[in-house]
Chain A
Amino acid sequence: MTNAIYTVIRPEGDNRFGLVQETSEGLQELGDRATTSTAALAKEIGSTLRIPEGEAELESDSDDGRMIINMGPQHPSTHGVLRIMLEIEGETVLRSKPVVGYLHTGMEKTAENLTYLQGTTNVTRMDYLSPLNNELVFCLAAESLLGIELPERATWIRMLMSELNRIASHVMWLATNGMDLGSTSMMIFGFRDREMVLSFFEKTSGLRMNNNYIRVGGVAADLPDGWEDDVTAIIDTIEARTHDYDELITGQPIFRERVVGVGTLSPQEAVALSASGPILRASGVPWDLRKEMPYLFYDQIDFDVIVGSVGDTYDRYAVRLFEIRESISIVRQIIDRMPRGPYRALDPKVTPPPRARIDESMEALIHHFKLFTEGIRIPPGESYVAIESPRGELGCYMVSDGSARPFRMHIRGPSFVNLQSLPVMLHGGLLADAVAVISSVDPVMGEVDR
């Protein structure tokens, strides 16, 4: 390890480690950074604990009051089976290491044995709080290799569903965050609001979660009759309730005591650690793939990118709360602009023919049979597609060899990458704040471990 590594993590101009510091003995000057040994630097600013998972004691001078404790994998505040090894000194967290993999089921390997029609059922189970976004990125990657053009309505339906999913996911985050910080009422309210969105998903796709609604070539079914009224009722209710939550939480002194200034992440650190989504934006980097590198029809929609200024847990809360309101405004614009027309591509090699056609057309029967026995054949090539999921940059790298199954399908999970910034946020904070910080990262372990 060289010192160059740390200059990337803690850049120049970051005066949290200023050379002259106020102490009880008056001003005291610290030694020059260059004279500090690498091992001492690692203790001071290196925030990632790099020891094997089975290790329970520190290798050297462990009699200086430091100790290692484990949080999780069975802990109510770790959002699943996340385990964090914390090096603590008294109540202060020094270094930490997220230990993941308890939920690993080899979904990328499984994907190589599934057709493109079955593939969406696989990816939808990764990030189970925003399943439609996972299906969307898988289908966009497959379609970019297929070179197929979608009907406009299919794209608008996809946008509608992915924004509703973002609202549901963020509301769910408000709920679990409330639970972690001891606000049980917020938990009940969040789950109640999410349920409204999920029942609309059930009405549309037949399932509350793991919908398998977005398919290669379009969506599985058209929106139900009267969907405008349903969606308007949902977003009007949730919008009114976000103001209630503002009153309930935002100005609440106990909540503010626990989150303001806790777990700060500077923009340089966030970029260097490849953080994305609300974490990156809360640090002050105005980066939203929907705005900067638009996919679907986000370039035709008017919305704001929500950016924080301090990068603490409170900012991450505020970014998510305001993103709910932005998503509601996006959904309103989608309702106004939803065109008529087919909801999936009319290419018989990609989408199955309507059921009524099978009885009267031999060709339709053949297409139907070939599609469900063999699947869609995608020309050879490789493609990386990224979308902005509620948790950040959700990417899909797909390699096809011309057969009906992907040769390689890789999902870049935002939760997996975001977990790396956790040690930096926890470093130097109190053990009791760790719960608030972990919650603010919003990891979904299904996606971390895949």
Chain B
Amino acid sequence: MVLERSAYLSTVQARHDEGYIYLADLTCVDYLNNPTRDLVDGVSLERFELVVNLRSFAPPAIVRLRVQVPEQDPLVPSIFGFYPGAEAMEREVFDLFGIRFEDHPDLTRILLPEDWEGHPLRKDYGVGRVPVQFKEVKRNR
């Protein structure tokens, strides 16, 4: 289910009231330079996609919300009020993608050190390399 950012909180609330009381997973994908996403009518696709999996226990069901988050203004409302378990997951997404959550009680880095610069799981964050220098082999053995 692909959503605009403006419809995120109201959809979560509606699902929560329907019985989707368990937050299974909350993560994010950076779709920089990936044109393979399916187009959905009425929703403009953005660079970041917040992926939220909600579970209902009775009957057993799972629903996946894919929220579009624009690159210029990566700010989404926090769902901590409905699912207190979202706290660590939202902190992880903030840490690794740099998406800010409005009204989150403690939006700080969780996996990386507090003074780390950049957000590593963004596609434009380079993977570091250690240069390898091969030693010269002696010819006349």
Contacts and interface: CB of A to CB of B under 8 A. Distances in A.
A4 interface: yes
Interface string A407-448: 110101000110110000000000000000000000000000
Q: What range describes how many residues of A lie at the interface? A: 35 or more
A395 B53 contact: yes
A163 B22 CA distance: 25
Contacts of A2: 81
Interface in A244-280: 271-275
B32 to A, nearest CB: 10
Interface residues of B, number: 41
Given A109-B120, A109-B121, A417 B106 contact: no
A9 B24 contact: no
B111 interface: yes
A8 B82 contact: yes
Given A113-B127, A401-B34, A412 B81 contact: no
B134 interface: no
A272 B85 contact: yes
B34 A54 contact: no
Given A274-B83, A285-B57, A380-B36, A412 B25 contact: yes
A384 interface: yes
A225 B43 CA distance: 56
Contacts of B66: 382
Nearest to B82: A8
Most-contacted residue by chain B among A50, A285, A417 (CB, 10 A): A417
B43 to A, nearest CB: 15
Nearest to A379: B36
A416 B111 CA distance: 11
Interface string B50-91: 010100010010101010000000000000111111111100
B27 A410 contact: yes
25 contacts: A2-B81, A48-B106, A52-B114, A100-B111, A101-B109, A106-B120, A113-B127, A273-B84, A273-B85, A274-B83, A274-B85, A274-B89, A275-B85, A285-B57, A292-B57, A384-B64, A397-B51, A397-B53, A407-B34, A412-B24, A417-B85, A419-B88, A420-B85, A420-B88, A449-B111
